[in-house]
Structure 1
Amino acid sequence: MQMEWYNEPRRWAGDHRQLQVTVEPDTDYWRVTHYNFIRDSGPFCFTTVSGDFEANVKISGAWQELYHQAGLMIRTDAANWIKTGIEYVDGVQQVSAVVTREVSDWSVVPRQDNPAAIWIKLLRKGDYVQISYSFDQAHFALLRLAYFTPQVSVQIGLVAAAPGSLPFEALFEDFTVVPVS
């Protein structure tokens, strides 16, 4: 699979099958809502696709500071994207989705067990994106169904951010993108 970087990190190794990233501090993705700022600075390793597809990845990380995050992103441009995965908030991993269409919104499912890994599945079909997650790669739960502009090419890939002052290590495994009908 052909991958490229947006905001390439200084330290990374691997490919779409296994990608280790050192996420630099002061990186994030957000637009306006609540915080009144725009951030478009996290590392994003992606491929460009058209049509309907399903993307899957296993994510783990050394979460240690507020808002450390890693997951999948689907993106058309800086003002239209969805990121989903784990976000570390108040010492707890949160299954997270941020949907951005000019302004960002955020939804979370708190976890008290801080699982070692999470599997994220993102289905793009027609005018929507369906986000599901699993902790065993067998049983997936729906996190979010969101509108996304249909019939345009998109960037889909691996995203991470560390908005605070500490870097962290994120590991992405078995990233796949397959067409669906």
Structure 2
Amino acid sequence: MTRTVPWSDGSWTNDPVDVTTSDDGLHVTAREGSDAWRITSYDFIHSTEHALLSTFEPESAIEVQFRLDFAEQFDQAGIFVKVDDESWIKSGVELSDGEESLGAVVTRGTSDWSLSPVPGWAGRLVTVRGSWSGNALTVRARVDDEPWRLVRVAPLIADGPVTAGPFCCAPTRAGLTVHFTSWRITPPDAGLHPGD
């Protein structure tokens, strides 16, 4: 069964500068320097992301939609799935070295990072979907109503509660406002590949 998650159901990991709800969604203004990362390559730990999280159950999927309107290095938004402070996954679109790229950071003690450019996505509606089935989170994304594309298959094994929801960060600047248009919980994907 598919259901819309009310914005009021979530709790922020870190309060944004401003949050406004309206008929067209949620507008979130990120703090300058906000980010989520652990150790790898940069030797720092950042846990200042703005993630609006609620309970995420096994054998379900989270979908978050937002309008892609980034301007500065590392502006980012998408989904955040949290097991604990050292185990989490963020996935969505990030502006890196001048181009919008679809990617994910998977963190289990230390972070890794993958990106793939998505030219032509700017100004459009992006949906990021995380499907938790068995021991894996399968992340897919699309722009408008185009076909889903696979972003990442990552381990998701938890002994306790898992939370998930929309997130945004602005590591290099003030003034990033992300317009989230929907947050839904749906049944998980039927399989990893079409036809499964």
In the superposition, the TM-score normalised over structure 2's length comes to 0.85
Structure 2, gaps ≥5 residues long: 191-196
The offset of 1:59, in angstroms, is 1.6
Query: Helix, strand or coil for the counterpart of 1:71?
Result: strand
The offset of 1:106, in angstroms, is 0.5
1:69 pairs, out of 68, 76, 80, with: 76
CA–CA distance in structure 2, aligned partners of residues 62 and 117 of structure 1: 9
**Is this contact kept in 2: 1:68–1:163, CA < 8 A?**
yes
**Is this contact kept in 2: 1:85–1:120, CA < 8 A?**
yes
Number of residue pairs matched?
A: 180
Q: Which residue of 1 aligns with 2:12?
A: 5
Report which stretch shifted further, 129-138 or 84-93: 129-138
Which amino acid in 2 is paired with 1:165? R
Q: Which residue of 1 aligns with 2:171?
A: 163
Which amino acid in 1 is paired with 2:169? A
CA–CA distance in structure 1, aligned partners of residues 62 and 145 of structure 2: 13
Q: Which residue of 2 aligns with 1:100?
A: 107
Cα distance change, pair 62–138 in 1 and its aligned pair in 2 (3 A): closer
Query: Helix, strand or coil for the counterpart of 2:171?
Result: coil
**Is this contact kept in 1: 2:64–2:165, CA < 8 A?**
no
2:21 pairs, out of 9, 14, 39, with: 14
Cα shift readout 1:101-157 (whole Å, capped 9, x = no counterpart): 000000111122243221111101111000001113351011111111145321110
1:133 aligns with 2:141: yes
Q: Which runs of 4+ in 1 moved over 4 A?
A: none
Structure 1, gaps ≥5 residues long: none
Q: Which residue of 2 aligns with 1:122?
A: 130
In the superposition, the TM-score normalised over structure 1's length comes to 0.92
